[in-house]
Every structure is written in structure tokens, then in C-alpha cells.
Amino acid sequence: MTDPYNPKSEKPCRACSDFSQWMKVGPSKKSAEVQESVQKFAEQPELTKKLAGSKKQSESSGSDSKNLPNVSWPNPDQALIDFKSNVCPPDRSELGSATWNFLHSVAAYFPATPDPSQQEDARQLLNIVSRLYPCSDCAEDLRLDLKEEPPVVTSSEEFSQWMCRLHNKVNLKLGKPQFDCSRIFERWRDGWKDGSCD
Ligand SMILES: Cc1cc2nc3c(=O)[nH]c(=O)nc-3n(C[C@H](O)[C@H](O)[C@H](O)COP(=O)(O)OP(=O)(O)OC[C@H]3O[C@@H](n4cnc5c(N)ncnc54)[C@H](O)[C@@H]3O)c2cc1C
């Protein structure tokens, strides 16, 4: 899928695609290598046993698998059980990373020329996060930060740079390294210039 906010971009919109859609688009040179490793992974004997039931199930459900690689995916019910027993509620750090993933992606995919209501939505989003964020001292600091430097939401570029500065403020407070904001779109939208994300 192309990026709806950036239709002229030649790259597919990573944030708009899940793995199965991405495989349907047709592999690039790099993704063909990935496809090969997925195939190798799925051919491991112990995995083959585990997946045997799911293959039958997907065949009988008549799902359209023509465009997908020849890989058997886990039985969805089994996947749900594994999910429940292995995954724990996020701690402060996991919640923080997940939230930054979301906030930077919102900023990176924000329109280049947002209309007034989109700008208002972006401001509201930050205000709401600052009131509801489950880490209360983080939320309190965010409310102060928003007062000190209100969100700049006049374009995707400005919003992304503002978000980068906000994140760097938190990094500084936590003794973490500063991020180079000139690479914000590489990190959160386009992938690194060396092509390692293509
Ligand atoms: C609004 C908010 C406030 C928070 N306040 C606190 C707090 O007060 N105390 C606390 O302990 N934790 C706080 N956190 C969590 C904290 O910021 C980190 O998310 C957490 O410590 C995990 O850090 P990390 O090293 O895994 O990477 P994270 O800081 O979560 O960063 C995730 C990824 O973002 C990229 N990145 C890093 N910096 C930037 C930047 N400036 N711009 C763009 N991309 C960047 C890097 O690639 C990095 O791997 C807060 C989180 C949020 C969302």
C-alpha cells in the first residue's frame, strides 16, 4: 500500500502494511532473502509437527493463499494460548518504547500540509496522552513539557522535529544518548539510507 499522506513516494507505506500484505506485494531482492529464511525456519522438523494441524485447517477453510509463500502458519487458537501464557503486562520501559513508536509514527505520517482540524487533533492527542499516560510521573513531566514548548503541528516535518526534541528531553533526563533529529524520517518512515530496511 502506498503512503496515503505521501502518494508520490515510491516506497510502500510500512506503517500501513502487515506481513501478509507485504509478502503479496512481491518480494524485492532483500525481501526474497527474508522469504527464503522464513521458508527455512518453517521447515525445521519440530516446527513442521507443530504446524501440521494448522496446514490442514487453512486448506479446509479455503482461504486464498495463492499469493502467499509456501509456509504453514500456526493454528490461530494455539497462537492465542501461547500469547496468553508468555506475554506479561508492559513495564515502564516497554510502555515507553511502545508509546514512542506510536507517537513518532503519528508525526512521521502526519500530512505535509495539515488542515486546521488535523492540527487540532494532533494537539489534542498530546494533551490526552499527558492526562492518561499510565506512568503518572512521566505524564506529569509531559504536561510541563507541553506547556514549556507547545506542539508544533504545522507540517509532518515540524511535528516530527518537535517530537524528536521532546523525546530527547526525556532521554536527557534519563541519561540516555541524544537522537540525531536530522534522521527522523529515516528512523520512523522511510528506512535508513543504507537500504537496510528495504
Ligand atoms: C511521553 C513519555 C514520557 C516518558 N517519561 C519517562 C520518565 O519520566 N521516566 C522514565 O523512566 N521513563 C519515561 N518514559 C519512557 C522512556 O522514555 C523510554 O521509553 C524507556 O526508558 C525505554 O527506553 P529505550 O532506551 O528502550 O528507548 P526509547 O527511549 O523508548 O526509544 C525508542 C526508540 O526511539 C528512537 N529514539 C530515541 N530517541 C529519539 C528521539 N529523540 N527522536 C526520535 N526517535 C528516538 C530510538 O531508535 C529508540 O530505540 C517516557 C515515555 C514517554 C512516551
pLDDT of residue 165: 98
Of 87, 119, 139, at which residue does a domain stop?
Answer: 87
Residue nearest to atom 33 of ligand 1 (CA): 97
Asked whether 110 and 153 are in contact (CB, 8 A), the reply is yes
Of 87, 118, 135, at which residue does a domain stop?
Answer: 87
Domain with residue 137: its CATH number is 1.20.120.310
Residue nearest to atom 52 of ligand 1 (CA): 96
Residues 103 and 42 placed together within one structural domain of the fold: no
pLDDT in tens, 6-53: 666 766 666 666 555 555 654 455 555 655 665 666 566 655 555 555
Report if residue 72 sits inside a domain: yes
Residue 96 has pLDDT above 90, yes or no: yes
Q: Please state the separation of Cα 192 from the chain's center in Å.
A: 15
- Tell me the DSSP string of 154-185: SSHHHHHHHHHHHHHHHHHHHTPPPP-GGGHH
Residue 147 has pLDDT above 80, yes or no: yes
Residues 116 and 83 placed together within one structural domain of the fold: no
Residues 184 and 96 placed together within one structural domain of the fold: yes
For residue 144 the three cell numbers come to 510541563
Residue with cell 520501559: 93
Integer Cα distance of 68 and 140 in angstroms: 47
Report if residue 198 sits inside a domain: no
pLDDT of residue 87: 80
Domain enclosing residue 80, as ranges: 1-47+67-87
Cα 171 to ligand 1 centroid, rounded to whole Å: 6
Residues 98 and 144 placed together within one structural domain of the fold: yes
Residues 28 and 114 placed together within one structural domain of the fold: no
For residue 39 the three cell numbers come to 521458508
Integer Cα distance of 54 and 49 in angstroms: 10
CB-ligand 1 contact for 132 (6 Å cutoff): no
Banded model confidence at residue 86, pLDDT cuts 50, 70, 90: confident
Residue 186 has pLDDT above 90, yes or no: yes
Residue 80, SS3?
Answer: helix
Neighbouring CB atoms inside 10 A of 108's CB total 23
Choice from 97, 184, 187, 189 to test ligand 1 binding pocket (greatest atom count within 8 A of CB): 97
Residue nearest to atom 37 of ligand 1 (CA): 179
- Please give the residue that has the higher pLDDT: either 117 or 60: 117
Residues 81 and 117 placed together within one structural domain of the fold: no
Report if residue 55 sits inside a domain: no
Residues 105 and 185 placed together within one structural domain of the fold: yes
168 CB burial (10 A radius; 0-12, 13-18, 19+): middle
How many structural domains is the chain composed of? 2
Residues 120 and 180 placed together within one structural domain of the fold: yes
Banded model confidence at residue 65, pLDDT cuts 50, 70, 90: very low
